[in-house]
Amino acid sequence: DKTVSLRKDLSEMHEWITQAEEEYLERDFEYKTPDELQKAVEELKRAKEEALQKEVKVKLITDSVNNFIAKAPPAAHEALKKELNVLITSYQQLCSRLNGKWKTLEEVWACWRELLSYLDAENKWLNEIELKLKATENVQGGAEEISESLDSLERLMRHPEDNRNQIRELAQTLTDGGILDELINEKLEKFNTRWEELQQEAVRRQKSLEQSIQSAQETDKALRLIQESLAAIDKQLTAYTADRVDAAQVPQEAQ
């Protein structure tokens, strides 16, 4: 009987739709590791593609039902047409929901990758600060050399807050959804601790270098005064010598 065959096809398709909904849309997903998240994205992509491939079968069933209705007595029309409409609606909803969930998870995965990218960039900057702090630990030379070291450290510290703000926002977006929250919190705590420690150390180093510059400037000034004094005495002694003045004839300091 053609009606029985058509109802069987409709029933099988309904079963597949129900199974797909239970497997991909009604099951609770937990994403505690990047691998789990990536696997979920791939699974939903396959499910979405599989659902789209079923479109051919839905079309065949639709054509078969419509052909049967065109030839069958009116009594058989209404029930079959209703079942077909329910199937088409359920199928379209499944495709829409699968596609929506896949897109959402793709955005979540992209958000995670972006967070890692910003963390990597900021950690590279923190590495530069560490190297700079080591380089300025025992600066040798006068006020000019120390001032150059201070300037290079201050230039490095003039780092925009944009990346750190992005890290904060991306992390908040993910953890609000309960996605990779433990891992993200661990990474953020490590990053923020390191950031704060290096910021504090950089501020201390800046103050230390400023004090060293002041000390070096005072030393340079003292040395310059001594040199000027020695030059004046040398000039005076040279004049005494040229005039063949005896040491006993000149002031005590000249003697």
Phi, psi of 177 (to 5 degrees): -90, 5
Task: Give the residue among 204, 210, 198, 218 at the shortest CA–CA distance from 150.
Answer: 210
**In the chain, where the domains are located:** 2-212
Structure confidence by residue, pLDDT tens digits, 188-208? 999 999 999 999 999 999 999
User: Of 212 and 112, which is predicted with more confidence?
Assistant: 112
pLDDT, position 99: 96
Structure confidence by residue, pLDDT tens digits, 55-103? 999 999 999 999 988 887 776 678 888 999 999 999 999 999 999 999 9
pLDDT, position 248: 65
Structure confidence by residue, pLDDT tens digits, 148-159? 999 999 999 999
Tell me the CATH number for domain 2-212: 1.20.58.60
Q: What is the pTM of this model?
A: 0.78
Structure confidence by residue, pLDDT tens digits, 6-18? 889 999 999 999 9
The contacts of residue 200 (CB under 8 Å, 6+ apart) are: none
What is the rounded CA–CA span in Å between residue 18 and residue 54?
A: 14
| Exposure on the CB side of residue 5, measured as CA atoms within 13 A | 7
Which of 134-138, 141-145, 198-202 is predicted with the least confidence, judged by mean pLDDT? 141-145
User: Over 104-119, what HEC string results?
Assistant: HHHHHHHHHHHHHHHH
